[in-house]
């Protein structure tokens, strides 16, 4: 655990010693506020809920989260410091977990800084704060899934742009698999069991469930499985690079 925390602190210093973390946080807050209050018409809806706020998160994360995580391993490979990192008295799993947690903390900070939205909706009405908490938990887990995918793509290449593009494509697939317009189109020609099976792989299906305030173990297991699988794949890639 000490080695993981050491790597995580190293990565966090790297994020905040450069504009990366600050740019991500500012852009996320601005876009989240713009889409919630301007595009979705938060005040015009007259509802004491943050449904319109969380609805945009899968799409905001689609581009912003890979932008945060694309440097995770690509930068190490480009600068040639990955060999130095892997010769330190730490295991690949400790390095992978430390880097991942540092990136997840950056996203968590951005998410936590949206607290004025919660204060606003509580000032204007009497929302179900349990549902709001569920939305935040689901959003944080979804961001973790996107980051794990980005960690995997970042380990594949030393080019950050390639890592970013591949991560966006994979994350987009996980969104569209359960996106209502797509599932409605599939229903017209595919069997219901097939449509349900495809939708089960989507972040949208599980995020929307948690967003309603229902912390189903199946939804939690889904996000943790995506994170675990992608980090495991990352470890295989890193070990292969180490052996090479």
Give the number of C-alpha atoms closer than 13 A to the C-alpha of residue 145, restricted to the C-beta side: 30
Dihedrals phi, psi of 119, to nearest 5 degrees:
-65, -40
Top-confidence range, 85-99, 136-150, 155-169, 206-220 = 136-150
Residue with tokens 């609805």: 55
Number of CB atoms found within 10 A of residue 115's CB = 10
Residue with tokens 């549902």: 131
What pLDDT, in 10s, does the model give residues 171-195? Answer: 998 888 877 777 777 777 777 777 7
What would the mean pLDDT of 141-155 be, rounded to a whole number?
94
Looking at residue 243, its pLDDT comes to 57
The Cα–Cα gap between 121 and 135 comes to 14
Looking at residue 43, its pLDDT comes to 73
What would the mean pLDDT of 119-143 be, rounded to a whole number?
91
Whether the Cβ atoms of residue 78 and residue 175 lie closer than 8 Å to each other: no
* Closest-CA residue to 68 (of 102, 36, 35, 94): 102
pTM for the whole structure: 0.89
The Cα–Cα gap between 15 and 239 comes to 25
Whether the Cβ atoms of residue 99 and residue 72 lie closer than 8 Å to each other: yes
Looking at residue 233, its pLDDT comes to 93
Local confidence band at 211 (pLDDT 50, 70, 90 cut-offs): confident
- In sequence order, the 6+-apart residues with CB closer than 8 A to the CB of 184 are none
Looking at residue 31, its pLDDT comes to 93
Whole-number average pLDDT of the chain: 86
Q: How many residues does the chain have?
A: 244
Question: Number of structural domains, the chain?
Answer: 1
What pLDDT, in 10s, does the model give residues 76-130? Answer: 777 666 666 667 777 888 888 999 999 999 999 999 999 999 998 898 888 889 8
Q: How would you class 110 by CB atoms within 10 Å of its CB: exposed for 0-12, middle for 13-18, buried for 19 or more?
A: buried
What pLDDT, in 10s, does the model give residues 23-66? Answer: 999 999 999 989 888 877 777 777 778 888 998 999 999 999 99
Whether the Cβ atoms of residue 111 and residue 139 lie closer than 8 Å to each other: yes
185 compared with 166, residue with greater pLDDT: 166
Looking at residue 63, its pLDDT comes to 92
Q: How would you class 79 by CB atoms within 10 Å of its CB: exposed for 0-12, middle for 13-18, buried for 19 or more?
A: exposed
Looking at residue 205, its pLDDT comes to 84
* Closest-CA residue to 107 (of 29, 17, 221): 29
Domain that holds residue 55: 2-243
pLDDT > 70? residue 138:
yes
Query: Could you tell me the two tokens for 118?
Result: 């919660």
Angle between helices 129-156 and 57-69 (to 10 degrees): 40
Whether the Cβ atoms of residue 52 and residue 120 lie closer than 8 Å to each other: no
Q: Which helix (H) or strand (E) holds 66?
A: helix 57-69
Query: Could you tell me the two tokens for 68?
Result: 């945060």
What would the mean pLDDT of 228-243 be, rounded to a whole number?
85
Whether the Cβ atoms of residue 189 and residue 120 lie closer than 8 Å to each other: no
């Amino acid at each position: 655990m000490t080695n993981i925390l050491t790597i995580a602190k190293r990565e966090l210093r790297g994020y905040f010693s450069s504009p990366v973390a600050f740019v991500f946080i500012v852009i996320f807050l601005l876009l989240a506020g713009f889409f919630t209050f301007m595009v979705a018409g938060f005040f015009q809806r007259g509802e004491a809920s943050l449904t319109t706020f969380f609805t945009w998160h899968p799409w905001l994360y689609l581009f912003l989260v890979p932008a945060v995580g694309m440097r995770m391993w690509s930068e190490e490979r480009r600068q040639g410091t990955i060999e130095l990192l892997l010769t330190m008295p730490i295991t690949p799993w400790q390095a992978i977990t430390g880097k991942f947690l540092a990136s997840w903390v950056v996203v968590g900070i951005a998410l936590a800084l949206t607290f004025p939205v919660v204060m606003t909706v509580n000032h204007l009405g009497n929302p179900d704060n349990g549902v709001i908490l569920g939305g935040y938990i689901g959003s944080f887990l979804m961001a973790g899934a996107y980051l794990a995918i980005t960690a995997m793509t970042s380990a594949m290449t030393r080019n950050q742009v390639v890592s970013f593009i591949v991560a966006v494509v994979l994350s987009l697939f996980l969104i569209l698999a359960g996106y209502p317009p797509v599932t409605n189109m599939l229903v017209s020609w595919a069997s219901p069991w097939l449509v349900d099976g495809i939708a089960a792989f989507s972040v949208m299906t599980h995020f929307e469930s948690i967003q309603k305030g229902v912390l189903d173990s199946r939804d939690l297991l889904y996000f943790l499985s995506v994170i675990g699988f992608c980090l495991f794949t990352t470890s295989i890639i890193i070990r292969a690079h180490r052996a090479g």
